[in-house]
Amino acid sequence: MIYIHVPFCVRKCNYCAFNSKVGDVAEQQAYVEALIREINLRADDSTIETVYIGGGTPTTLSIVQLEKIIGAVRKAFSVDERAELTIEANPGTVDGNYLRGLKSLGFNRLSLGVQSFDDGLLKTLGRIHDSRAAIETVEHAKIFFVNVSVDLMYGLPGQTLNHLRRDLEHVKALDVEHVSIYGLEVEEGTKFFELKNQLPLPDEDTCADMYDLITETLPAFGFRRYEVSNFAKEGFESRHNVGYWTGKSYFGFGAGAHSFDGALRTSNVRDVATYIKGTEPIVEEVVTRQAAMEEFCFLGLRMTAGISAQTFSKKFGASISEVFGAVIAKNRLRGLLEVDGDRIYLTTCGMALGNEVFADFLL
Ligand code: SF4
């Protein structure tokens, strides 16, 4: 698995705490060169089954720049011919020609940062697109890609259940294959954080109703929930993200990107200018057996399929009930976890309170 971070955006959104910035042409070009340098330096004979270019807004780069990046990846690694190649794109940064270019580079999955189809909410968020651009981009994307995902947000200032109902209707009408949902979190360092006390945020009960509306409506529209925040038509689950939740190793290239080789977790320097100058990845953590067991559980439980007790034993040489028996029993009693033969998974209620359950698995 490979993740490539492109930190540039046209404008910084009001809620954004991601590693992203507005970059000029020279900085973008220098960044692409630094990325290629890093990819070449870390080349090995791994077979790659998924590549994910995220950001930021990767589609602020030109097709030629993306071609160079993907070309470097193909040269440095053995990319499987059936690999899933995803790129994130934002409405307002792509047109038909650009999408055709992405397809010609081998991308076969497009993840669109729509967030909402409501003009007022998009403006509040500080997005560069309006509802019309969102619809047109999805319609265009559907011409070139059979696998299109959209991101939707809830819990936004001024958002009502009716806004959300209309967003979900748009998703249905546009016939996309995958939806990721994000509840707004007002994070430090964002414009929203500065205005925190003035934002007309929906109260906790309304947010819970919004969450219920999403988790009930999307399955009724033919999307199967396969993870806490992700819904897909059959066969369109994100292979890349499933890889993270099942503990696969991955390379992360670019500013702030993380890597995991099965034992060691490393990260690149976050600052774009420093990354361009070139620095070694920083070792963040040697993943101990204990930490690996915890991760196996709290990442695997994010998926509706849950975790397999047998896989746990094979991987760690210990039975899951020996290590986490008390945690599993406690959460079963609370109605948050279910055990069915070999599988242990979150109940619907457990999905809503996932963070509480995950925290219990940290011994
Ligand atoms: S487009 Fe995404 S990454 Fe860029 S500023 Fe907005 S939220 Fe942040």
Looking up residue 352, the CATH number of its domain turns out to be 1.10.10.920
- Statement: residue 129 has pLDDT above 80: yes
The verdict on 44 and 121 lying in the same domain is yes
Other beta carbons within 10 Å of 314: 9
Q: Where are the alpha helices (DSSP H) in the chain?
A: 25-41, 63-76, 96-104, 119-125, 131-144, 161-174, 191-194, 204-220, 239-245, 272-277, 289-300, 309-316, 320-333, 348-352, 354-360
The verdict on 60 and 124 lying in the same domain is yes
Report, as an integer, the average pLDDT of 325-352: 96
State the pLDDT confidence band at 225, using cuts at 50, 70 and 90. very high
Q: Is the CB of 55 under 6 A from ligand 1?
A: yes
Report, as an integer, the average pLDDT of 137-163: 97
Q: In CATH, what number is assigned to the domain containing residue 215?
A: 3.20.20.70
- Does a structural domain hold residue 276? no
Report, as an integer, the average pLDDT of 93-102: 96
Map tokens 């009716």 to a residue.
Answer: 162
- Does a structural domain hold residue 306? yes
Q: Is the CB of 90 under 6 A from ligand 1?
A: yes
Report, as an integer, the average pLDDT of 178-197: 95
Report, as an integer, the average pLDDT of 252-257: 97
- Does a structural domain hold residue 264? no
- Listed residues 243, 274, 307: the one ending a domain: 243
Q: Is the CB of 93 under 6 A from ligand 1?
A: no
- 308 C-alpha to ligand 1 centroid (Å): 36
Give the Cα separation of 243 and 69 in Å (integer).
Answer: 22
- Does a structural domain hold residue 210? yes
- 137 C-alpha to ligand 1 centroid (Å): 17
Give phi and psi for 9, each to the nearest 5.
-140, 160
Residue of the CA atom closest to atom 5 of ligand 1? 12
> Please, which residues bridge with residue 154 across strands?
183
Ligand 1 atom closest to residue 11's alpha carbon, by position in its atom list: 5
The verdict on 296 and 225 lying in the same domain is no
- Does residue 328 sit in helix, strand or coil? helix
Give the Cα separation of 250 and 51 in Å (integer).
Answer: 10
pLDDT tens-digit series, residues 164-177: 999 999 999 999 99
Residue of the CA atom closest to atom 7 of ligand 1? 16
Ligand 1 atom closest to residue 15's alpha carbon, by position in its atom list: 7
Q: Is the CB of 137 under 6 A from ligand 1?
A: no
pLDDT tens-digit series, residues 27-56: 999 999 999 999 999 999 999 999 999 999
pLDDT of residue 2: 98
- Does a structural domain hold residue 64? yes
- Does a structural domain hold residue 254? no
- 171 C-alpha to ligand 1 centroid (Å): 21
The verdict on 187 and 64 lying in the same domain is yes
Q: How far is CA 15 from the centre of its chain?
A: 16
Q: Is the CB of 332 under 6 A from ligand 1?
A: no
Ligand 1 atom closest to residue 56's alpha carbon, by position in its atom list: 3
- Does a structural domain hold residue 205? yes
The verdict on 186 and 320 lying in the same domain is no
Map tokens 């492109």 to a residue.
Answer: 6
Ligand 1 atom closest to residue 127's alpha carbon, by position in its atom list: 6
Q: Is the CB of 19 under 6 A from ligand 1?
A: no
State the pLDDT confidence band at 363, using cuts at 50, 70 and 90. confident
Q: Is the CB of 20 under 6 A from ligand 1?
A: yes
The verdict on 221 and 302 lying in the same domain is no
The verdict on 79 and 7 lying in the same domain is yes
The verdict on 171 and 314 lying in the same domain is no
The verdict on 238 and 328 lying in the same domain is no
Amino acid at 318: A
- Give the pairing type, strands 258-260 and 264-267: antiparallel
- 21 C-alpha to ligand 1 centroid (Å): 8
- Does a structural domain hold residue 258? no
- 15 C-alpha to ligand 1 centroid (Å): 8
- 234 C-alpha to ligand 1 centroid (Å): 29
Report, as an integer, the average pLDDT of 55-73: 97
- Listed residues 175, 208, 243: the one ending a domain: 243
pLDDT of residue 280: 79
The verdict on 238 and 294 lying in the same domain is no
Rounded to a whole number of angstroms, the CA Rg of the chain reads 21
Give the Cα separation of 311 and 330 in Å (integer).
Answer: 22
pLDDT of residue 152: 98
- 12 C-alpha to ligand 1 centroid (Å): 6
What's the pTM? 0.95
- Listed residues 207, 225, 243: the one ending a domain: 243
The verdict on 304 and 230 lying in the same domain is no
The verdict on 92 and 221 lying in the same domain is yes
Domain extent for 205: 2-243
Other beta carbons within 10 Å of 146: 10
What total number of domains does the chain contain? 2
